[in-house]
Amino acid sequence: MKIENRKSKINQGFTLIELLIVITLLGILAVAVLSAINPIEQINRSRDTSSRSDAEQLINAIDRYYATAGFYPWRTSATDEGAGGSVGVDWTAANESWTDTSTESVVLDKLSSGGYAELKESFINRISGSTYNTLYVYNRGQQGDSTYVCFDPASAAFLEEAETRCNINVEEAEQEPLPDDFPSDEACGETVYSCLP
């Protein structure tokens, strides 16, 4: 009786072949899950979501500045007409030395200091970093025009959304046309940009 009990304890473990089969199946499942999740696309989507959030924050800061000061931060006063009419901002990289019409005051500095302080210094430092996805600002400069902030999308989902807005590769004929003040030449060219609003 003692000998049978010892044999049954020995037979309760897995064989090496059974373990290899289980490990192989787990590997196949891991590859299937990773291909379904596509981690690179998820990282790119996360980066684009961050860029979109920063674009919204920049638009809101520009709108609050306008509501408080009565003119946009790229202008020097409410009566600033520039050289030939209303003053807009023509597809400018926000993280570069973007100055107002006097070419003396950096617009991001105007948004983060003085009596307005619409943006935190940490936000300015983040979007001004050399590795940050550049935000482009556009405003045609006519009464009632929207201010657009655009970025180059890295993920397929954001790129498809941008192409749809630009009517590129769109199968639906009932797509809404772009607004007149939209920077279609810049945002819908060789590189398609995701733009807000």
Distance, CA of 56 to chain centre: 9
> DSSP class of residue 94?
T
Cβ contacts of residue 127 below 8 Å, gap of 6+? Answer: 54, 58, 94, 95, 108, 135
Instruction: Supply the pLDDT for residue 178.
Output: 84
With cut-offs at 50, 70 and 90, classify the pLDDT of residue 30.
Answer: confident
Q: Give the helix ranges, DSSP H, for the chain.
A: 2-10, 16-37, 39-69, 107-112, 121-127, 156-165, 184-187
Q: Which residue pairs, CB below 8 angstroms and at least 24 apart, start in 10-13? A: none
Instruction: Supply the pLDDT for residue 106.
Output: 86
DSSP reduced 3-state for 79? coil
Give dist(CA 14, CA 146) in Å, integer.
68
The answer to whether 102 and 158 are in contact (CB under 8 A) is: no
Instruction: Supply the pLDDT for residue 15.
Output: 86
Check residues 78 and 6 and name the one with the higher pLDDT.
78
User: What CA–CA distances, in Å, run from 97 to 50, 93, 130, 174?
Assistant: 22, 8, 13, 41
pLDDT over threshold 70, residue 179: yes
Mean pLDDT for all residues in the chain: 84
pLDDT in tens, 42-80: 889 999 999 999 999 999 999 999 988 888 999 888 887
DSSP reduced 3-state for 139? strand
Instruction: Supply the pLDDT for residue 150.
Output: 95
Give dist(CA 79, CA 95) in Å, integer.
26
pLDDT over threshold 70, residue 153: yes
Give dist(CA 105, CA 102) in Å, integer.
7
